[in-house]
Amino acid sequence: MVESIGFSNMLSLAQTIAIVGTMVMTLYFSRKQIQSLTLNVQSTVLNDLVEKIHKMGEMLIERPQLAKVITNTQIDHWTTDLPFAFYVLYICAHAYSMRHRKVLNDNEWAGWLQWMKNCFDQGTIKEHWRNVESEGWFDPAFQNFINKEIAGVRVKSRT
C-alpha cells in the first residue's frame, strides 16, 4: 500500500510539472507571436505613411509650386529634380527603417545598400543631400547612416 501511495504522488507531481511546462511554453510562444504582430503593425503603419509621402512626391514633381505648402524655400530653386531627390531619399529612409525592423533580410539589404551607394556615387543626389540634410527632414539615425556609410563612400569602378 505504501508503494501505491508513492506512485500516485509521483503521477500527480508529473502531471503538475507537465501542466506548468505547457503553460510556460504557451506563454513563451504567445509573447513571440505578439512581438511579431507588433512588428507587422508598425511596418504597416510605416508603409502607409511612405505611400502618402510617395503620393506627395508625385504631386510635387508634377506641380513644384506646391512646395510652398511645406517649405519656405524659394520656388525658383524647386526644379523637378529636387522633389525627385526627396522622393529617392524617402525611399532610402524607408529601406533603412525596414532593415532596422528586421523586415529586410541580409541579401535584400545588401541590394538596397548598393543601390543607395550607386545613387550617391553616380547621381546628383549627394548634392541635394548636402542642401537638405541640415534642415532636419529625416530621422537623425538615418541622417547619421547616410553621412557615415553612404555619402562618403565611392563605389570602385569595374575594370
Q: Where are the domains of the chain?
A: 39-150
What per-residue confidence (pLDDT) applies to 50? 74
What per-residue confidence (pLDDT) applies to 1? 43
Helices 125-132 and 106-122: angle between axes, nearest 10 degrees? 90
What per-residue confidence (pLDDT) applies to 76? 54
What per-residue confidence (pLDDT) applies to 2? 47
What per-residue confidence (pLDDT) applies to 112? 92
**DSSP label at 69?**
G
What per-residue confidence (pLDDT) applies to 84? 82
What per-residue confidence (pLDDT) applies to 96? 94
- Enter the C-alpha cell of residue 82: 529636387
Q: Which residues of the chain have pLDDT under 70?
A: 1-5, 73-80, 153-159
Q: Which residues of 57-91 are buried (b: 16+ CB within 10 A; e: fewer)?
A: beebbeebeebeeeeeeeeeebeebbbbbbbbbbb
What per-residue confidence (pLDDT) applies to 114? 94
CA distance 65 to 59: 10
- Enter the C-alpha cell of residue 1: 500500500
User: In Å, how far are 41, 100, 124, 142 from 60, measured between CA atoms?
Assistant: 29, 29, 18, 23
